[in-house]
Structure 1
Amino acid sequence: MRSLLVLSGGHPYEAGPFGELLSALGDWKITHLIHPEGGEADAVGAIAAADGLLFYDMAGYTFADGTVTMRPPSPALREAISARFAAGKGAVTMHHALAGWALWPEWHQWLGGIFHYQPGDHGPDSGYRHDITYDAQIVADHPVTRGLPESFPVTDELYLCPIDEAAFTPLVRAEGFAFTRDNFYSAAQAVAGAMFSNEGWNHPPGSNCVAWESRTCPAPLVYLQFGDGPATYANPHVRQMLRQALDYTSGGTA
């Protein structure tokens, strides 16, 4: 039986429905490690051994009293992930993993984007919007998307954040919703206690790509923005895409 290492934590989620999603992935022996108790130190040795690797974590943050503190991963974890990719063994990243390890630039160069919780030299903080129903449009014939309908409905959280389309091959786009400032809320204001606010916040229009494969990572690395909660976990097309992404990224170099 193939082994699958799942890393989560650093961001709230509904554990029961997420566990049901993992159970529906097929013939995998799953090890699930959760930040901070087991996600980083325990993962170092497990990353190289696992056939499949799924990042559903948002590591490297501490949120307290309306402020954000960030830290980079340990040198051992950075080396473990880098060595896995250098050996041609890939991974799947989901949803809020796009925000994790904000102080590890290479990680986000591989991913092709980053969600910012605070403004800085990079520009404004990023935007979020929950419970948006949109059409997921398949835009590439790819092992991750094969067998799926050309489009299917998804209800999920979307992000407005820096995305570098030159760094990846687009697989799915979100149609029927505009990725513009007026349709999103400020992450920094949410951290400060003003949920669902974009007052005084400015952000340029963003990419509507919600699934892609990295062109910059030395191993197959797929990002799926799907995954905010139970409605998305239960979507049969999202489940199929995740299964196929895990199969694809665990099968060697692209």
Structure 2
Amino acid sequence: MVIRYDARLNLLVSTKGHPFDTAAFFAMFDAMKGMTWTHVEQPATTALMSPEGCADFGALLFYDVPGLQFRTPNPPDLIEPPEAFKQDFRALLDAGKPMIFLHHAIAGWPLWDEYAEAIGARFFYQPGSYKGRAYPDSGYVFPATYKARPLADHPVLDGLEDGFELTDELYLFDTLEDDILPLLAADYSFDREHFYSAANALNARMWTRDDWDHPPGTNLIAWAKRSGKAPVVTIQCGNDGATFGNPDFRRLLRNAIDWVTSDEAAQWARNAA
């Protein structure tokens, strides 16, 4: 790929920590006109996260799972983020750096509550806590076919006003913050009987829910949020190559990139009520 120093937008795309269809994933960004993208893997991403390190990137897209060392069939080791990273990430939010969190990125840095606060949610691979409250391990199910239903008149949903059908992975969890702007909901039953335990899966017992309890979760699969002074969009879908090639999902993601990097989004994020 040619390095585009003259592109209107250079998107940083961070990965690693969870397997994915690399060819289909990167082809999705190659197909986006009028921008370029740069791929960085964890843990290099963590070292890059500062206003200075990200100065050349118009937005940051996270499709990574930092802070976990998977050890199936044993529980994962949870890693505390470096203090320097915490300070630099806060500085990025205070500087208004646009961010998008995609699919399993919702599970990142499980020991740092401020990271989940920036995203608006957390996927728990094992029972954990957030701001002193205990949570069970989250649920997963795939493939799940559902209708994605718009909840707002918003630029992220341009061209998707009638909703769209998607076959992808869904999570059973809940949003952790109240100050989010709901964008998309999935017409699906978000209860224990339709999902499987993430902790069981990491114990080499995929597709089981025995000894697991979870209250009904949110049906939200996309939302916007002010995090510091930064506009953030979180999209829960994005598991496999079929989704990466889905034209409606591609439109959703490109709309999110265009919106978080817009003057409108910057003003919205700065003018928190």
1:108 lines up with 2:116 in the alignment: yes
Secondary structure in structure 2 of the residue aligned to 1:172: strand
The 4+ residue runs of structure 1 with deviation greater than 3 A are 42-46
Looking at structure 2, the residues matched to 221 and 72 of structure 1 have their Cα atoms a distance apart, in angstroms, of 23
* Whole-angstrom distance in 2 between the partners of 1:27 and 1:179: 38
The number of residue pairs the alignment matches comes to 252
* Partner in structure 2 of residue 67 of structure 1: 75
Structure 1 unaligned spans of 5+: none
1:161 equivalenced with 2:169 (yes/no): no
1:232–1:217 distance in 2 versus 1, CA, 3 Å? farther
| Structure 2 CA distance for aligned equivalents of residues 221 and 106 of structure 1 | 14
How far apart, CA to CA, are the structure 1 residues paired with 2:95 and 2:173? 30
**Contact persistence 1:88–1:218 (CA under 8 A):** yes
> CA separation in 1, counterparts of 2:87 and 2:246?
35
1:129-148 matches, within 5 Å, as: 129-148=141-160
Highest relative contact order (Cα 8 Å, sep 6+), 1 or 2?
A: 1
2:10 matched residue in structure 1: 3
2:70 and 2:97 mapped to 1: Cα distance?
Answer: 32
Which residue in the other structure is 2:45 paired with?
Answer: 39
Measured against aligned partners, the alpha-carbon deviations of 1:40-61 in whole angstroms (never above 9, x if no partner) come to 2244453233112101111110
The CA distance in 1 between the partners of 2:128 and 2:245, in whole Å, is 37
**Counterpart in the other structure of 1:228:** 239
Deviates more, 1:63-72 or 1:137-146: 63-72
**Contact kept in structure 1, 2:122 and 2:176, CA below 8 Å:** no
- Aligned match of 2:19: 12
Q: Taking structure 2 as the reference length, what is the TM-score of the superposition?
A: 0.87
Query: By how many angstroms is 1:62 displaced?
Result: 0.2
Find out whether 1:239 has 2:239 as its counterpart: no
Alpha-carbon distance between aligned partners in 2 of 1:46 and 1:32, rounded to the nearest angstrom? 14
- What are the ranges of 5 or more consecutive residues in structure 2 without an aligned counterpart? 1-6, 269-273
Aligned partners of 1:33 and 1:42 also within 8 Å: no
* Contact map agreement 2:117 2:177 (CA 8 A) in 1: no
The worse-fitting range, judged by mean Cα deviation, of 221-230 and 208-217 is 208-217
Cα deviation, 1:63-118, whole Å, max 9, x if unaligned, reads 11422111122223223322222112211110001101111111111211111011
The letter for the 1-side match of 2:18 is H
- Mapped to 1, the partners of 2:87 and 2:177 lie a distance apart of 26
Q: Which residue of 1 aligns with 2:31?
A: 24
Aligned position for 1:54: 61
Within 5 A, what are the aligned runs for 1:81-92? 81-92=89-100
1:149 is matched with 161
Q: What TM-score do you get using the length of structure 1 for normalisation?
A: 0.94
* Shift in alpha-carbon separation, 1:89–1:251, aligned structure 2, 3 A: farther
Distance of aligned partners of 1:72 and 1:54 in 2 relative to their CA distance in 1, 3 Å threshold: same
Aligned to 2:271: none
The percent identity for this pair of structures is: 39
